[in-house]
Amino acid sequence: MESTDHTPTDSAHAANRCDSDHEPNIEAELLMQSEEHENGSSSGLRNSGEVNGTISNQMLELEDKDQPSENDSHKDETEHGTEHNLELRQVTELIIGVLLKSYLSDSLQQGTDTVGLILPMLQPMLPAVPPEILRHRITAMSDALSVFRGDETHPLEALAHAFEYWQCLRAALRHTQEFNKTGNIDALSQAISLYEGWLTSGSADHPAYIEVLSNLGACLTNRFELLGDLADIDIAIKHLSHADCISFDDHESLTTILLDLSEAYLNRFEHVGDLEDNAQAIQCLRRAVICCGGDKEKLARCLNNLGNAYLQLYEKRGRMDAIDDAISALEQAVASTSVGDTGLPSCLNNLGNVHLTRFERLGHTIDLHKAIECQSHAVRLTPSTHTNLPSQLNNIGNSYGRQYECSGDPHHIDKAIDYHTKAVAQTPGRHPDQPGRLNNLGTAYMSRFEHSGRQEDLEKAIESLQQAVSLAPNGHHTSYSRLNNLGNAHLLRFECSASPGDIQKAIECLGQAVSLSSPTHPDYPSCLSGLGGAYSQRFSVFGDLIDIHSAIECRQTALSLTPTGHANMPSLLSSLGGSLNHRFDYTGDLSDIQNAIECHTQAVRLTPPGHGDLPGRLSNLASAHMSRLDHLGNVEDADWAIEYLARAAQLRANHAGLGGALSNLGGAYYKRYLRLRQVEDLNKSIQYEAQAVELTPNNHADLPSRLSNLGGSFNERFNVTGQAQDLDSSIICHRNA
């Protein structure tokens, strides 16, 4: 008779990592209405399209004034015919020419009515252009050029350079706006080239110098986030540090520069892991908080980003004081934000993310409830067309996914998939956040597959996760988590299909995930344990001892790197126990099975009642007792196994894993029957094994073994009772197997 099913150790899904979108400071939302970069680990402090200072704001104002109103356009076409099809560029050149002439004649002095002076000069040259359009253009051009007046000895040359610089800045801003809307990296690179060209030909005394330094630094930071080229982030920090040094007397500009500089430091910290970069970022943000004075809006923005900086410190180093500091800063940010302020959703979203992170560390459900409460509030406050909404949908989807893992309630995973699906649908295909959101959708489908057993969910999971890996730039700092999740998905499919291709793909992906993750990163132990799970699964099929030794080594290392009290501790213990059990079954080394039972017992003890992983851990503990029963023959091990498996089956009601739990329970009764020869145990074995077969899909890899086990039990009862019906049932089962 074949051995009973062993429920797979709960290593795969426990290592799944979701990407959280931490929203940028509020200023970026107010000015540009653009979402931050995708990030499971980066704070996204400022959008590259955010403009810094008076000059850039005038550029944007002029950009708006270039566009005639709908009424103006209609009037032009109906009243003036083709005469008004004059390019705005030509109109601009005429206005510039008149302004230059007026400047040279000293006509335009401070307090002069510019429109009143220039309009009569332009109207004879442009008789077909409505006066209101000319007024718009004159005012905008005059305002934009006025800030450049400085060289009184060579006014013509000064204004010529002013116009050239103005065109350069305007073009750079258009490219950054295009990048923010479409994610087109070519547009971002063009903006960077324009800013760099401006700095090459410009002077440090130029009124726009600090603004160009700041905006160039922000653009370089965004390109680094996409491509991971350290040269970009190093240059960004250089420019922003210089801007910081020369803008000490302007608190308004300094606050924005400090926010940009902190983002650059945090990005380099995420990539390189140098704690000095994180310390510099936090120092910048603390200075920014002081610069805010009594401005609550700016204070909320700075505190919001400070909270994200502390969160990054935790994610990189696992320091609990950092996550507590993050929550404190973000709670202050929420308190500093007025009701109705457009920045409130961002602060609530990030506060929810940090509570979710603390829940993942400590397992306290109060943090999970607070995460969902904050994120739900953020979604309610965000307009349906706002570009930050996909980020918030993604994050609340993550929280519902974690709630499902605790509760096992299918409604929670359905909500998670619904939110993640909406987040993906509302994110442009080339947007840098799309890989992270596809990753989270894939992990949600994985979770539902483990509950429902529907192959469709698993296929959707692999499809989404493969897209996430394919779309992410090479070397991206979150690549390890996506590879880890894709590997776990292939491992799940291998457990169903026993396809060698799936186990090879799983080990390949999980191995890459470990190599890309730092040993000091909080996720490293889970990645390492997941790789151990893949080795353990391959050993169970092919029997190569090298695989099981590798599995145990990975999982022991993962456990040793995990701090006491960590929420992942039960999962890691259960996983290590499963690998030790597998090696014992092959080698018979009693120390392995004793250690396996100890690991599984601790895992069950540390798992909260009602937790979604408790049934699997009970099954794993029972499997270890059954293995020791086979070796030592102690019936007490069978009694323990039956007790644990009965609890697991009760908890698996309406779950895809119920068939496996019932099959294992039937197998435990059968083994006790073999020891005690009590027919009641044999009857129980047939009862539960028959239910297991009935619940097993026709294409499931475990169906043959379950049919074989049931057939063996029927045959044994025929030998005891002589009932022909049992013999017939046994033959049918073995034939179908």
What percent of the chain is modeled with pLDDT above 70?
A: 79
> According to the per-residue pLDDT averaged within each range, which of 157-166, 241-250, 603-612 is highest?
603-612
For 256-291, b/e burial (b = at least 16 CB within 10 A) is: bbbbbbbbbbbbbbbbeeeeebbebbbebbbbbbeb
**What confidence tier does 621 reach under pLDDT thresholds 50, 70, 90?**
very high
* Residue pLDDT, tens place only, 483-523: 999 999 999 999 888 889 999 999 999 999 999 888 888 78
d(CA 526, CA 534): 13
pLDDT tens, residue by residue, 417-451: 999 999 999 998 778 889 999 999 999 999 999 88
* pLDDT at site 499: 87
Query: Rounded mean pLDDT of 264-286?
Result: 90
Q: What CA–CA distance (Å, rounded) separates 384 from 655?
A: 35
Q: Give yes or no for residue 277 having a pLDDT over 90.
A: yes
Identify which has the larger pLDDT, 562 or 113. 562
Tell me the C-alpha distance between 438 and 433, whole Å: 9
**1-18+433-579 matches 26-50+159-432 in fold:** yes
pLDDT at 565 (0 to 100)? 84
Q: How sure is the predictor about 56, in pLDDT bands with cuts at 50, 70 and 90?
A: low
- Name the pLDDT band for 479 (thresholds 50, 70, 90): confident
Residue 413 has pLDDT above 80, yes or no: yes
Tokens of 94: 């005429």
8 A C-beta contact, residue 408 and residue 452: no
What's the pLDDT tens digit per position in 531-589? 999 999 999 888 999 999 999 999 999 999 998 888 889 999 999 999 999 999 999 99
Please write the tens of the pLDDT for every residue from 15-37.
455 666 654 332 222 222 223 33
Distance separating alpha carbons of residues 8 and 153, to the nearest angstrom: 83
Of 72-81, 166-175, 462-471, the least confident: 72-81
At residue 12, the pLDDT reads 36
Helical axes 365-381 vs 389-407, angle rounded to 10°: 150
Predicted confidence band at 702 (pLDDT cuts at 50, 70, 90)? confident
Say whether pLDDT at 407 is over 90: no
Distance, in Å, from the CA atom of 599 to the CA atom of 3, rounded to the nearest integer, reads 23
- Give me the pLDDT at residue 475, please: 63
Above 70 in pLDDT, residue 148? no
Residue 257 is given by DSSP the state H
| Domain 26-50+159-432 falls under CATH 3.40.190.10 | no
Mean pLDDT computed over 310-333: 90
Q: Are 621 and 633 in contact (CB under 8 A)?
A: no
Q: Answer with the residue of higher pLDDT: 583 or 341.
A: 583
Dmax over CA atoms of the chain, in Å, equals 121
Question: Residue 603 is encoded by which pair of tokens?
Answer: 């895992």
Which sequence spans correspond to the domains of the chain? 1-18+433-579, 26-50+159-432, 64-147
Q: How many CB atoms lie within 10 A of CB 294?
A: 6
Average pLDDT, the chain: 82
Is the separation of the CB atoms in 712 and 2 below 8 Å?
yes
Who contacts 63 (Cβ-Cβ below 8 Å, separation ≥6)? 170, 173, 174
**Banded model confidence at residue 93, pLDDT cuts 50, 70, 90:** low
Q: What average pLDDT does range 56-67 have in this prediction? A: 48
The CATH T-level fold of domain 1-18+433-579 is 1.25.40
DSSP letters, 434-445, are: HHHHHHHHHHHH
Is residue 104 scored above 60 in pLDDT? no
pLDDT higher than 90, residue 115: no
- For the segment 150-159, the average pLDDT, to the nearest whole number, is 52
pLDDT in the model for residue 604: 97
Residue 340 half-sphere exposure, CB side, CA atoms within 13 Å?
A: 0
Interacting residues of 224 by C-beta distance below 8 A, sequence separation 6+: 230, 232, 233, 236, 267, 271
Given its phi and psi angles, is residue 473 left (phi above 0), alpha (psi -120 to 50 degrees) or beta?
beta
8-state DSSP, 110: T
pLDDT digits (tens, 9 = 90+) for 668-677: 999 999 999 9
Per-residue model confidence (pLDDT) at position 535: 96
Instruction: For residues 196-218, give the mean pLDDT.
Output: 81
Q: What is the pLDDT of residue 343?
A: 87
Q: Which two tokens stand for residue 471?
A: 């779309």
For residue 127, what pLDDT band results from cuts at 50, 70 and 90? Answer: confident
Residue with the bigger pLDDT between 301 and 617: it is 617
- Which pair of tokens denotes residue 363? 């397992």
Rounded CA separation 221/28 (Å): 15
Average pLDDT over residues 175-194: 88
Average the pLDDT over each of 7-21, 84-98, 167-181 and give the range with the smallest value: 7-21
Cβ pair 334, 348 in contact under 8 A: yes
Confidence of residue 45 (pLDDT cuts 50, 70, 90): very low
Please, which pLDDT band fits residue 411 given cuts at 50, 70 and 90? very high
Q: What percent of the chain has pLDDT over 90?
A: 51
| pLDDT above 50 (res 1) | no
Residue 253: exposure state from Cβ atoms within 10 A (0-12, 13-18, ≥19):
buried
What angle, 0 to 180 degrees and rounded to 10, lies between the N-to-C axes of helices 389-407 and 410-425?
A: 160
| CB burial of residue 425 (10 Å; 0-12, 13-18, 19+) | exposed
Give the containing element (helix H, strand E) for 609.
none
The predicted model gives 117-141 an average pLDDT of 75
Tokens of 231: 């040269």
- Residue 144 pLDDT > 70: no
Backbone angle region of 290, left / alpha / beta, with phi > 0 → left and psi within -120 to 50 → alpha: alpha
* pLDDT band at residue 52 under the 50/70/90 scheme: low
pLDDT at 108: 56
**Amino acid identity of 223?**
R
> Average of pLDDT values for 630-657?
92
Residues 6+ away with beta carbon under 8 Å from 717: 679, 682, 683, 686, 723, 726
For range 79-107, the mean pLDDT = 51
User: Residue 412 CB: number of other CB atoms within 10 A?
Assistant: 20
